[in-house]
Amino acid sequence: MAGFSPPPSFSITTNRLHISYFQPGNESHSTFLHQAWNTDEFVEAEGKTGLNTPGKAARFHRPKIQVDYNRNKYGQTLVSLKPRPGPSLAESKMIGVVSLMKGDLYTCPNVGYTILSEKNGKRYATKAAIGLVDSARAN
């Protein structure tokens, strides 16, 4: 698919987080998306997505996630927790998804998130959303 190609090393950083693009073909990204969207909390709030295997999550990248990147340069992004101050994205652990989505019929984007239940209540979703929105405004 032609269009925007998210750089693998790109990261929006906050004090505790890296916010990065999903990479089509990255098995760990597909596995994490499958994990995050099949937690009891996510299914209760959003319903079943049909991404009930990592393979289905991998196939979700191109027609859904990549389309938003091509249209808006943002969309669904990974949230990774830094283990200490200053580590690289590769050293950080994926803990959630934060999204900035704008459909064709809307004038403003919508912010959404899911954070793994063991990391809930620590303001990671709020900090990730602020970082993503600030980056989108700047670009």
pTM: 0.89
**Pairing state of beta strands 76-81 and 12-13?**
unpaired
What whole-number distance in Å separates Cα of residue 92 and Cα of residue 14? 12
What whole-number distance in Å separates Cα of residue 125 and Cα of residue 60? 23
CATH 3.40.630.30 matches 12-138: yes
User: Is it the case that residue 20 has pLDDT exceeding 70?
Assistant: yes
User: Is it the case that residue 94 has pLDDT exceeding 60?
Assistant: yes
Please classify residue 120 by burial: count the beta carbons closer than 10 Å to its beta carbon, then call 0-12 exposed, 13-18 middle and 19+ buried: middle
What whole-number distance in Å separates Cα of residue 69 and Cα of residue 51? 20
Average per-residue pLDDT for the chain? 89
SS3 4: coil
Per-domain residue ranges for the chain? 12-138
Among the listed residues 17, 20, 11, the one whose alpha carbon sits nearest the alpha carbon of residue 127: 17
Q: How confident is the model at residue 70 (pLDDT cuts 50, 70, 90)?
A: confident
CB 70 within 8 A of CB 87: no
Determine the pLDDT at residue 60.
Answer: 84
